């Protein structure tokens, strides 16, 4: 695993810096720029503060966007209608959605109208309400040990982070002692199969693959056959995010499901839709579209480390009520976290966990 080391350093370096490059142009702060001692310090800080602070650091762009606009509204005056309106706008701007924004502001108005409030009190009140919205969707992905394997189909648009998330999940479950197999079902893009193989090697799990252009459903069938024969605990199936058109993609996903059900009528046991948090409101449309193509059991939100639009997670939770089983906070194999409602809500509002 020595090759993940430089990756980690550059990830820390990027995360520590407020001037993180846009996610669309990743890679990376030069590793050489991180002196050994700085990297060691980072590792030390990391160990002490744990993943909660990493989440907060990762969310910093989203947090900054929300908190700055809220803070800017307060000059120690009594809460009036104008401020409430402006707060509502700030929440909408931060991608929390019209309905969540209205709900939070209405509640705040009821409780504090005409009273003196500080921006910190407002953020704390919002954080509590957001945590309440998020709590029901903060559900972990449970692997059913009776399934051999528990089949996880991973879908989402191109570039949303499917393949990376599969690698992270593979690493996680392998680390928990499960036998994992991957199916390189994105046979549409030339580099996609190779990418999954590299990740598979890194995580130390076998990857079932075929050449570009091969039938994805056939591949998924073979992978499930093999995973059953080898008594794997988890089979993760990667898929294409874009084909020639939407109908093709819909047909391909439906065919994968149909074909694997010949081997296991209840497969896939989990269908995860991966959404890129940097796309903000567009994520809503993606949920709607993919739901028409395949049953979606849960969401994974990626790139929360580089997104100023992390608030969209709240809007999605409120609207679709789909479990958020994990969040991606970096490009490294360890950068997947269970989703925790309160930590996320407080992080978003710039408050300590
Ligand atoms: N910063 C960051 N980048 C991510 C995250 N997840 C994926 N990526 C990057 O997003 C890009 C697309 O990811 P990929 O897994 O290939 O997407 P796919 O097309 O859906 O399979 C890659 O450059 C990944 O490294 C994340 O949580 N944070
Ligand atoms: Mg991919």
Residues 46 and 70 in one domain: no
Q: Which ligand is nearest to the CA of 184?
A: 2
Q: How far is the CA of 299 from the centre of ligand 2 (A)?
A: 16
Nearest residue CA, atom 14 of ligand 1?
161
pLDDT bracket for residue 26 (50, 70, 90): very low
The answer to whether position 12 is within a domain reads yes
Question: Are residues 173 and 319 located together in one domain of the fold?
Answer: yes
Give a yes or no: residue 231 inside a domain.
yes
**According to the model, what pLDDT value does residue 180 have?**
98
Q: Which two tokens stand for residue 160?
A: 């949303």
Query: Do 189 and 296 fall into the same domain?
Result: yes
Q: Which ligand 1 atom sits closest to the C-alpha of 166?
A: 15
Question: Can you tell me the mean pLDDT for 71-85?
Answer: 81
For all residues of the chain together, what is the average pLDDT?
Answer: 85
Q: Could you tell me if 95 and 195 lie in one domain? A: no
- Report d(CA 249, CA 243) in Å as an integer: 5
3-state secondary structure string across the chain? CCCHHHHHHHHHHHHHCCCCCCCCCCCCCCHHHCCHHHHHHHHHHHHHHHHHHHHHHHCHHHHHHHHHHHHCCCCCCECCHHHHHHHHHHHHHCCCCHHHHHHHHHHHHHHHCCCECCHHHHHHHHHHHHHHHHHHHCCCCCCCCCCCCEEEEEECCCCCCHHHHHHHHHHHHHHCCCCEEEECCCCCCHHHHHHHHHHHHHHCCCEECCCCCCCHHHHHHHHHHHHHHCCCCEEEECCCCCCCCHHHHHHHHHHHHHHHCCCCCCCCCEEEEEEEHHHCCHHHHHHHHHHHHCCCCEEEEECCCCCCCCCHHHHHHHHHCCCEEEEECCCCCCCEECCCHHHHHHHHCCCCC
Q: Which of 283, 331, 339 has the most ligand 1 atoms within 8 A of CB, as the residue to mutate?
A: 331
Same domain, residue pair 173 and 217: yes
Ligand 1 atom, smallest distance to 306 CA: 1
Distance 158 CA to ligand 2 centre (A): 7
- Measuring from atom 4 of ligand 1, which residue has the nearest CA? 331
Looking at residues 70-80, what average pLDDT do you find? 77
Q: Which ligand is nearest to the CA of 25?
A: 1
Task: From 269, 183, 176, 271, select the one nearest 227 (Cα to Cα).
Answer: 183
Question: CB under 6 Å to ligand 1: residues?
Answer: 23, 26, 156, 158-164, 241, 302-303, 305-306, 328-331, 335
Judgement on whether residues 216 and 259 belong to the same structural domain of the protein: yes
Same domain, yes or no: 228 and 321? yes
Question: In this predicted structure, what is the pLDDT of residue 43?
Answer: 56
Same domain, 298 and 194: yes
**Nearest atom, ligand 1, residue 238 CA:** 21
Q: In this structure, is residue 262 part of a structural domain?
A: yes
Final residue belonging to a domain, choices 58, 81, 104: 58
Pocket test residue of 162, 164, 199, 302 for ligand 1, highest count of atoms within 8 A of CB: 164
Q: What are phi and psi of 164, to 5 degrees?
A: -65, -40
Are residues 98 and 159 located together in one domain of the fold? no
In angstroms, the Cα distances linking 298 to 4, 140, 228, 276, 324 are 28, 10, 24, 14, 6
Q: Is position 168 within any domain?
A: yes
Neighbours of ion ligand 2 (CB under 5 A): 162-163, 186, 192
pLDDT confidence of residue 77? 73
Distance CA 173, CA 180 (A): 7
Pocket test for ligand 1, best of 8, 10, 13, 161 (most atoms within 8 A of CB): 161
Lowest-confidence pick of 30-39, 204-213, 235-244: 30-39
In the numeric block, which tokens belong to residue 39?
A: 């990297």
Residue numbers of the domain that contains 253: 150-337
Do residues 291 and 166 both lie within one domain? Answer: yes
Q: For position 89, which CATH number holds?
A: 1.20.120.140
Domains: count for the chain: 3
| 275 domain-assigned | yes
How far, in Å, is the centroid of ligand 1 from the Cα of 162?
Answer: 7
Confidence of residue 42 (pLDDT cuts 50, 70, 90): low
Measuring from atom 23 of ligand 1, which residue has the nearest CA?
26
State yes or no: pLDDT of 28 exceeds 50: no
CA 176 to chain centre: 20
Looking at the structure, do residues 111 and 235 belong to the same domain, yes or no?
no
Model confidence over 214-264: pLDDT tens digits? Answer: 999 999 999 999 999 999 999 999 999 886 778 889 899 999 999 999 999
Q: What is the pLDDT of residue 4?
A: 42
Does residue 40 carry a pLDDT above 90?
Answer: no
Same domain for 113 and 217, yes or no, is no
Average pLDDT over residues 180-203: 93
Q: What is the pLDDT of residue 13?
A: 34
Q: What is the Cα–Cα distance from 272 to 160, expressed in whole angstroms?
A: 12
Q: What is the C-alpha to C-alpha distance for residues 147 and 236, in angstroms, rounded to an integer?
A: 13
For 150: left if phi > 0, alpha if psi spans -120 to 50, otherwise beta; the answer is beta
Q: Is residue 353 in a domain?
A: no
pLDDT in tens, 174-190: 999 999 999 999 998 88
Could you tell me which residue, 22 or 280, shows the higher pLDDT? 280
Q: Does some domain include residue 255?
A: yes
C-alpha span between 268 and 257 (Å, rounded): 7
Tokens of 107: 């509640």
Length, in residues, of the chain: 353
What is the CATH number for 272? 3.40.50.300
Q: Give the residue, out of 20, 203, 302, 337, with the most ligand 1 atoms within 8 A of its beta carbon, to mutate for a pocket test.
A: 302
Does 83 reside within a domain?
Answer: yes
163 Cα–ligand 1 center, Å:
7
């Amino acid at each position: 695993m020595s090759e993940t080391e430089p990756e980690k350093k550059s990830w820390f370096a990027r995360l520590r810096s407020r001037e993180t490059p846009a996610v669309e142009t990743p890679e990376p702060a030069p590793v050489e720029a991180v002196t050994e001692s700085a990297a060691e310090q980072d590792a030390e800080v990391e160990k002490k503060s744990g993943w909660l602070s990493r989440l907060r650091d990762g969310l910093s762009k989203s947090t900054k966007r929300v908190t700055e606009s809220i803070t800017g509204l307060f000059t120690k005056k009594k809460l009036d209608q104008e401020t409430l309106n402006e707060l509502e706008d700030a929440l909408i701007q931060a991608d929390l959605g019209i309905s969540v924004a209205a709900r939070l502001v209405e509640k705040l108005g009821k409780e504090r109208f005409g009273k003196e409030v500080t921006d910190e009190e407002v953020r704390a009140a919002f954080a509590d309400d957001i945590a309440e919205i998020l709590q029901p969707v903060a559900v972990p992905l449970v692997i059913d040990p009776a399934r051999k394997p528990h089949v996880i189909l991973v879908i989402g648009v191109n570039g949303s982070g499917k393949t990376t998330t599969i690698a992270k999940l593979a690493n996680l479950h392998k680390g928990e002692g499960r036998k994992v197999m991957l199916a390189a079902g994105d046979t549409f893009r030339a580099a996609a199969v190779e990418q999954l193989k590299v990740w598979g090697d890194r995580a130390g799990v076998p990857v079932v693959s075929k050449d570009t252009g091969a039938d994805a459903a056939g591949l998924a069938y073979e992978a499930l056959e093999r995973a059953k024969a080898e008594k794997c605990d988890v089979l993760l199936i990667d898929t294409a995010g874009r084909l020639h058109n939407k109908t093709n993609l819909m047909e391909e996903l439906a065919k994968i499901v149909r074909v694997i059900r010949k081997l296991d009528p209840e497969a896939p046991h989990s269908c995860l839709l991966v959404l890129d948090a940097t796309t903000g409101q567009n994520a809503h449309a993606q949920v709607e579209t993919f739901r028409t193509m395949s049953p979606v059991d849960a969401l994974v939100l990626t790139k929360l480390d580089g997104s100023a639009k992390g608030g969209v997670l709240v809007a999605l939770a409120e609207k679709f009520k789909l479990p958020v089983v994990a969040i991606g906070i970096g490009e490294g194999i360890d950068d997947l976290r269970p989703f925790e409602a309160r930590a996320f809500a407080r992080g978003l509002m710039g408050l300590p966990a």
